[in-house]
Amino acid sequence: MQKRKNRMSHAFWMLIFPSGLLFFVFFIIPLILNIILSFTNYDGWKTMNFIGLSNYQEALTDSRFYSALLKTFIYAIVNLPFKVIIPLLLAVLLTSDKVKFKTFSRTAIYIPVLLSSLVVGITINWMFSQEYGLINFLIQQLGGQPVAWGRQPALATFIISLASTWASTGFYMIIYIGAINNISHDVYEAAEIDGVSAWQRLLKITIPLLMPTTFLVTLLSTVNLLKEYALIQGVTQGGPGTSTTFVIQYIFDKGFNQSLYGYAAAMSVVIMIIFAVIAFIQFKVNEGGEFTK
Amino acid sequence: MSMKKIASLLGVAAVLVGLSACGNSNKKTSSDAKESKTLTVLLSEEPSKTNALNNAFKKWAKETGNKLKTVVIPYDDQLTKFPLMLKNKDVPDIVATTRLMMLYPDEFTDLSKKMDTSIFDEKALKVINQDYTDTKVLGAPNQYTLSCYFYNKDAFKKAGITAPTVDNPWTLDELYANAERLKRDGDVKYGLAVDFSRARYDNLMYSNGGSMVKKDGKTFDVTINSNKNVKTLQKFISLNKSGVMPEVIWTGGSSDNPADYFKNGDVGIYLSGTWNYEPLNTDVSKFDFGVMPSPKGSEQQSVISGGSSLAIPKSAKNSKLAVQFLKWLYKDKNLKEYLTNDKGISFVKDVSYVDKDPDVAADYKILQSELDHVTDQFLVDEQSQWRNYLDNEYRDYLKQAVSGEMSAKGALDAFAQDLSKKSDWAVK
């Protein structure tokens, strides 16, 4: 019995070692280095003096940092429902027996996931460019006035939201499709015998049984929305003004454009703590996605 | 001797012959390497077929039998990537840059000890290298650029506007009024477009006598938030708001490029720079365009000069080869060919470029005369090297003012405070 236990333990460590090593090299070491940098005035080249908590003091009194953080939260909260609901509805639709061209539709919806954020940005720019964009061209052809996508903060944020949802829907849809296919047909058959309508089946069976998946999608979407960077860089570069300058972009700008690596590292640590707290709250509220047991 | 032994002896002999052949081939390769070396060049953008500098590199490589390796890093990214290259001891042999003073000047070779740098125009040398204090020459100029105003001749004709001349330039008020008229009568969407660059905007500031800093003995005072500068920015914002200028360029939020607007015939007057002359000359076919002298503000006309230079990092592996290229480039014949291909303003004493096309030659006459309008305020600002403290932040504040997030005064006050904090210069 003891021998069997030891063998299991060895197998456990053998299996976990490759991912553990990668996690250590690409996450733990950079994290430690980042924390060390956050206590210095490192400029990316020659200057690196220990300056204690100065970077943290500056970050916590930086109104622009708070402004970027607030905008990030608003962006994440507003977009989260779309990130979860649209893939769920598409997955339900594309697993229905009544729908045709399912494979084609799934592929078409998934293709944007394969594109890099910058390619998505270029595509979106081509569509929404103020002067020469496709959408404004069509609007003008129909006799309308071109829309000031790049001048209005709300419209610029809308474009980023649209692009972000478009680029990620396919990924979450596939996760939902896998989960829906795993729901036992017996449950649906029993419901049918009881005379349950399609709408009730969705609300009373499918959605509750998908709760662990919904938790996963919600968590991944929240983290990705809070970290949104490359897409914004490709579409609005943080404008108009600073209306789409979210917190990661602000940190990147401080670090890589202004060579304030120490300060950027301190802000990263603060952000990491905030994001971790948000993820922890989500885990607690959703009981880690296990509450359907 | 058994067959086995004979076979093994033959095998050994074959291996020895093979090894000696390899040895010979290695020797040949190393001697070849001595004759043909590879010059690694850092450029700021992917060179087009007509890129004069890249073609000069190619011609030199062909003439001397050397090879070229090109690395492309945009100017902004050079600031972060070049230190990494230095750290990794993997630097290019020649760096073409507009930001020499921001790329750790200590790391570059003093070219005055390697070649005759007295051939260069002294003013051009200082402006291009942004170095007003040192006697070292860290970069050899390869492009001398000026901000300049392009105009759409067809739109001017339609609106009944006569272009200003060197002897009779417009005032800034006339520029703004004519921009409105162009929008109204010139069949263009916008009267005036300005590159999304503080170096273009600053011309308006210098024209009205404003400046970033003022010299105060051995130090400087920050003056960017002076009343004059606030008024200049307010006017700039109002032109954007009224639609005379394409507001989206200066609010950010789009990657639209005013050069594209001008090329498409949507802009009457375009404030950009001489480096855009050749691309416009190639790309604009729908209308005729020309260059006009800078307008006079409340105090003076203003152009901002700058340029690009070729610098050799001290730790470059093939620095001798890099020096060899520079000496080749500045030979009279090669330089004239380079300037002709680049259609650039000359940075070498007694050498100038005259185009065969009379229209182009006339434009260059105007540009050459604009060299006189590099203002004292600009030169003082350059001497202060304020951009070593803050750079893009200034443009970002201007962007916030145009987008309406901040008032003109609020944006300039905030930047003045930031610059003062970084530089220890007083705000006055």
Mean pLDDT confidence for A121-134: 89
Supply the angle between the helices B198-207 and B376-384 in degrees, to the nearest 10.
130
Answer whether B83 sits within 8 Å of A237, measured CB to CB: no
The answer to whether A104 faces chain B, any CB pair under 8 Å, is no
Helix (H) or strand (E) holding B378: helix B376-384
pLDDT value at position B31?
43
Determine whether the interchain pair A244/B247 forms a contact, defined as Cβ–Cβ distance below 8 Å.
Answer: no
For an interface test with B, which of A41, A42, A43, A45 has the most B Cβ atoms less than 10 Å from its Cβ? A45
**Per-residue pLDDT at B19:** 44
Asked if A64 has any chain B CB less than 8 Å from its own CB, the reply is no
Cβ proximity of B141 and B120 under 8 Å: yes
Instruction: Say how many domains are in chain B.
Output: 2
Claim to verify: residue B209 and residue B269 sit in the same structural domain: yes
What pLDDT shows up at residue B17?
46
Residue A130 has pLDDT above 90, yes or no: no
Residues B259 and B163 in one domain: yes
Same domain (yes/no): B294, B403: yes
Residues B299 and B381 in one domain: yes
8 A C-beta contact, residue A149 and residue A156: yes
**The pLDDT of residue A251:** 95
Backbone angles phi, psi at B372, to 5 degrees: -70, -15
Residues B251 and B396 in one domain: yes
Contact between chains at A131 and B266 (C-beta distance less than 8 A): yes
For B107, list phi and psi in degrees, rounded to 5. -90, 5
Closest Cα in chain B, distance from residue A36 (Å): 19
Mean pLDDT for A57-66 is 94
Mean pLDDT of chain B: 88
Domain boundary residue among B338, B362, B386? B362
| Cβ <8 Å between A156 and B266 | no
Q: E strands within B231-351?
A: 267-273, 289-292, 305-311
Report the pLDDT value the prediction gives residue B387, as an integer from 0 to 100: 86
d(CA A79, CA B117): 60
Over 80: is that where the pLDDT of B237 sits?
yes
- B265 in the same domain as B379: yes
A259 interfaces chain B, CB cutoff of 8 Å: yes
Residue B258 is part of which domain span? 148-304+375-427
Vertex B228 angle, CA B227 and B231, to 5°: 85
Tell me the sheet residues that pair with B67: B38
pLDDT interval class at B336 (50, 70, 90): confident
Which chain B residue's Cα is nearest to A156?
B253
- Cβ contact, residue pair B251, A150, below 8 Å: yes
- Domain spans of chain A? 62-289
Counting residues of chain B whose pLDDT is more than 70, the rounded percentage is 92
Q: Could you say which of A45, A129, A240 has the minimum Cβ distance to residue B252?
A: A240
Residue A240: cis peptide before it, omega within 30 degrees of 0: yes
B178 and B117 inside one domain: no
Residues B239 and B333 in one domain: no
Kindly report the backbone phi and psi dihedral angles of residue B404, in degrees, each rounded to the nearest multiple of 5, phi listed first: 90, 5
Sign of CA dihedral A195, A201, A204, A206: positive
A54–B contact, CB cutoff 8 A: no
Q: What is the pLDDT of residues A152-207, one digit of tens each?
A: 999 999 999 999 999 999 999 999 999 999 999 999 999 989 999 989 999 999 99
- The 10s digit of each residue's pLDDT in B255-267 is 889 999 999 999 9
Interface test with A, best of B87, B247, B255, B407 (most A CBs within 10 A): B255
For residue B69, give the nearest of B39, B46, B97, B98 by alpha carbon.
B39
The span from the CA of A165 to the CA of A81, in Å, is 10
pLDDT 10s digits, A26-58: 999 999 999 999 999 988 777 789 999 999 999
Distance from CA of A160 to the nearest CA of B (A): 10
What's the confidence (pLDDT) of residue A29?
Answer: 96
Whether residue B171 lies within 8 A of chain A, CB to CB, comes out as no
- Residue B35 confidence (pLDDT): 65
Among candidates B189, B255, B403 on the partner chain, residue whose Cβ is nearest the Cβ of A241: B403
| Chain A, chain B: beta-carbon pairs less than 8 Å apart | 90
Tell me which chain B residues have a C-beta less than 8 angstroms from the C-beta of A149.
Answer: 253-254
Distance from CA of A233 to the nearest CA of B (A): 10
B14 in a domain, yes or no? no
- Does A126 reach chain B within 8 Å, measured CB to CB? no
Percent of chain B with pLDDT over 90: 65
Q: Would you say residue B20 has pLDDT above 60?
A: no
Q: Are B303 and B147 in contact (CB under 8 A)?
A: yes
Of B305, B322, B397, B74, the closest CA to residue A256 belongs to B74
The reply to whether B110 falls in a domain is yes
Q: B344 and B379 in one domain?
A: no
A165 touches chain B (CB under 8 A): no
B253 contact A CB<8A: yes
Evaluate if residue B1 carries a pLDDT over 50. no
Q: Is residue B423 part of a domain?
A: yes
Out of B79, B252, B393, name the one closest to residue A238 (CB).
B252
**Contact status of A140 with chain B (Cβ, < 8 Å):** no
Measured between CA atoms, how close is A259 to chain B, in angstroms?
A: 8
Say if the Cβ atoms of B254 and A125 lie within 8 Å: yes
| Helix runs in B152-257, H state only | 153-159, 172-185, 198-207, 227-241, 247-251
**By the CB < 8 Å criterion, does B418 face chain A?**
no
Residue A232, by phi and psi: left (phi above 0), alpha (psi -120 to 50) or beta? alpha
C-alpha B344/C-alpha B278 separation (Å) is: 9
All residues at 6 or more sequence positions from B50 whose CB lies less than 8 Å from its CB, including other chains: B278, B282, B341
Residues of chain A contacting B79 with CB distance shorter than 8 Å: 259
Q: What percent of chain A has pLDDT over 90?
A: 71
pLDDT confidence of residue B84: 86
**A133: contact with B, CB 8 A cutoff:** no
CATH number of B198's domain:
3.40.190.10
C-alpha to C-alpha distance for A175 and B96, rounded to whole angstroms: 49
CATH assignment of A62-289? 1.10.3720.10
Residue of chain B with shortest Cα separation from A261: B80
For residues B14 and B148, which has the higher predicted lDDT (pLDDT)?
B148
Q: Does B355 lie in the same domain as B394?
A: no
Q: Does A148 touch chain B (CB under 8 A)?
A: yes
Residue B67 lies inside a defined structural domain of this protein: yes
Kindly tell me if the per-residue pLDDT of B142 is higher than 60.
Answer: yes
